[in-house]
Structure 1
Amino acid sequence: MTKTNVLICDDSAFARKQMARAVPDGWEVDIHFAVNGMNAIEQIHQGNGDVMFLDLNMPVMDGYQTMEIIRKEDLPCLVIVVSGDVQPEARQRMLAKGALDFIRKPIDNDKLSTLLKQYGIYTGDSAATQRTLQAAISPASETEMFDAFREVVNVAMGRAGENLARLLNEFIDLPIPNVNVIENNELHMAIAEINRNESVSAVSKGFVSAGIHGEALVLFNDTEFASIIELLNYHQLSAAPAQLEALMDISNIIIGACLNGLSEQLNVTFSHSSPIILGRNRELESILTTTRQRWSRIVAVEVCFAIKHKGVNFDLLLLFPEKSMERIYSRLVGTEG
């Protein structure tokens, strides 16, 4: 029997392994990997991509650009998008470019098998177990932990992007999360997208569960409040109450959806503190002063949600003490119950 060449295209090694494990054992395949769209196009030209599982947010060449080339060159590849970005418009864009279907991360193995059968790609026993990879999971290097950490945040921010898109009726551009371990006096460096000469407003919320704890901050550039109020249709409020309402509503959407996305993947339930307004119309440095005193070394994850044509950005900063990242990784790879 001729094997199907399956190509898994994702910039995250952790995500590629997860996807490979989700491929049914009963499906006769040779699995190949690509780290970005450019690499994937090369592999398809080499005959390694009868079926491709394609991520959206990648460096060098993203999923949208990759799909455009596949369509333009009429390449013989069936594409199923696998992404944390589950906005309706993201799905519509990719289906319009010729993708077969669009499924969300993390992968539901049973749903994947059903989908493959639906399109006649896989006809094996529905009870077939998922394939296992022999690669050792531990001990993990810092690079492997960072990669897994970035991927779990990528999925969580996709949930937040979807909720924002529905609230604002706009497409939200999602980046690849920026993850760094920093000393407490370097926290300001984790927010590269914010002009430090402009005043910002910020909301903070703490969270804890199963030995994992952290703080989520949403930061707004104050010059963008007029556009945000317009998007939310808060014109009936006077300026100061409208800004405050926008600040709290957007923050609750972003932080709540991200923490729910993390909870689902880690199988934990976070207890949340009440949201705190750290500052209004203040310099970034003065806002961060109170936050950075708590831990000596911090894992800082920066995500910038953007509505490009409106010139609007919402910066989310997730802060964890270093030991929390080790616990998160242990839960992700199943070495901690």
Structure 2
Amino acid sequence: MTSQLTVLSEDQRDALQELMNVAMGQSADRLARLTGTFVTLSVPRVHAVTQTLDKVLTDLGIGDEPQLVTRQSFLGKLRGEVLVCFAVSGAGELAELMGYENNDVASGDELLMDVTNILTGACINGLAAQIQAMVSFGAPSLMARAKALREVLAEQIAQGYQSLVLEVRFEVASHSFTCDLLVCITDDSVAVVIEAVDKLLSEF
């Protein structure tokens, strides 16, 4: 099935990136407050999942690196899930940023869940507010530990679960900490996003 995203104009893509930039900016602000550091984020990138898995992961640029991957679903008019990809050392870096001294696995996992919940909530609520959609959230969970994202995502993308991936990277330069946030929107709610994009464009 051809995704509606394959026919997005350049203006529509730019408007979608602007919507996501606002939403991701709220996530970056929450992470900065949480860690007490300056957080930078990349320009959001839009990926329509109509290509092969190899092409998508090559575009993402993180397909073969071992990751700690968490996930959290969101439901409502806008549906999908957020994947947060931490480097394997990510839990330790986060713990250091937040002043944790306990390095056991359970504490590290709990910390990742808390951060996932904060980033997902800020980002998706920010996006939902802009497109006037109500959303609810599932509980965050650990999707994979020290696995390549290519392996983690193969089944979902093969099943066509998501048709749109919005990607941004958060960085804390002072601690060499990075994490990649992927917003995966289901095929049946893409029309909601496109409608919001067209409305934004009509206001200019």
TM over 0.5: yes
Question: What residue in structure 2 maps to residue 199 of structure 1?
Answer: 66
Question: What residue in structure 2 maps to residue 230 of structure 1?
Answer: 96
The answer to whether structure 1 residue 217 and structure 2 residue 115 are counterparts is: no
Distance in structure 2 (CA, Å) of the matches to 1:277 and 1:248 = 8
Question: What residue in structure 1 maps to residue 13 of structure 2?
Answer: 146
Question: What residue in structure 2 maps to residue 275 of structure 1?
Answer: 140
Residues 36-51 of structure 1: matches in 2 within 5 Å?
Answer: none
Question: What residue in structure 1 maps to residue 3 of structure 2?
Answer: none
1:269 partner letter: M
Distance in structure 2 (CA, Å) of the matches to 1:207 and 1:184 = 24
Distance in structure 2 (CA, Å) of the matches to 1:183 and 1:141 = 13
1:232 partner letter: M
Residues 44-63 of structure 1: matches in 2 within 5 Å?
Answer: none
Say which structure is richer in helix.
Answer: 2
Higher relative contact order (CA 8 A, sep 6+): 2
* Residue 297 of structure 1, CA deviation: 6.5
TM-score by length of 2: 0.83
Distance in structure 1 (CA, Å) of the matches to 2:59 and 2:79 = 19
The answer to whether structure 1 residue 309 and structure 2 residue 174 are counterparts is: yes
Higher CA-based Rg: 1
Inter-CA distance 169–141: structure 2 relative to 1 (3 Å threshold):
same
1:206 partner letter: S
Aligned residue for 1:176, secondary structure, equals coil
* Residue 288 of structure 1, CA deviation: 1.4
Distance in structure 2 (CA, Å) of the matches to 1:202 and 1:143 = 31
Residues 1-337 of structure 1: matches in 2 within 5 Å?
Answer: 141-183=8-50, 185-186=52-53, 187-192=56-61, 194=62, 196=64, 198-210=65-77, 212-235=78-101, 237-295=102-160, 298-322=163-187, 324-334=189-199
Distance in structure 1 (CA, Å) of the matches to 2:133 and 2:44 = 22
* Residue 329 of structure 1, CA deviation: 2.4
Would you say how many aligned residue pairs link Structure 1 and Structure 2? 192
User: What percentage of residue pairs aligned between the two structures are identical?
Assistant: 27
Partners of 1:215 and 1:318 within 8 A in 2:
yes
Partners of 2:27 and 2:120 within 8 A in 1:
yes
Inter-CA distance 184–233: structure 2 relative to 1 (3 Å threshold):
farther
Distance in structure 2 (CA, Å) of the matches to 1:242 and 1:280 = 15
Partners of 1:184 and 1:298 within 8 A in 2:
no
Partners of 1:145 and 1:325 within 8 A in 2:
no
Aligned residue for 1:183, secondary structure, equals coil
TM-score by length of 1: 0.52
Distance in structure 1 (CA, Å) of the matches to 2:11 and 2:75 = 23
**Post-superposition CA distance 1:229-284 (Å, at most 9, x none):** 1012221x342123202211211111110011012111111122222211112222
Unaligned runs of 5+ in 2: 1-6
Unaligned runs of 5+ in 1: 1-139
2:79 partner letter: H
Distance in structure 2 (CA, Å) of the matches to 1:271 and 1:249 = 17
**Post-superposition CA distance 1:141-168 (Å, at most 9, x none):** 4323222211111000010011111110
* Residue 172 of structure 1, CA deviation: 0.5
Distance in structure 2 (CA, Å) of the matches to 1:151 and 1:322 = 21
Aligned residue for 1:331, secondary structure, equals helix
Q: Once superposed, what is the RMSD of the aligned Cα atoms? A: 2.3
Aligned residue for 2:71, secondary structure, equals strand
1:264 partner letter: A
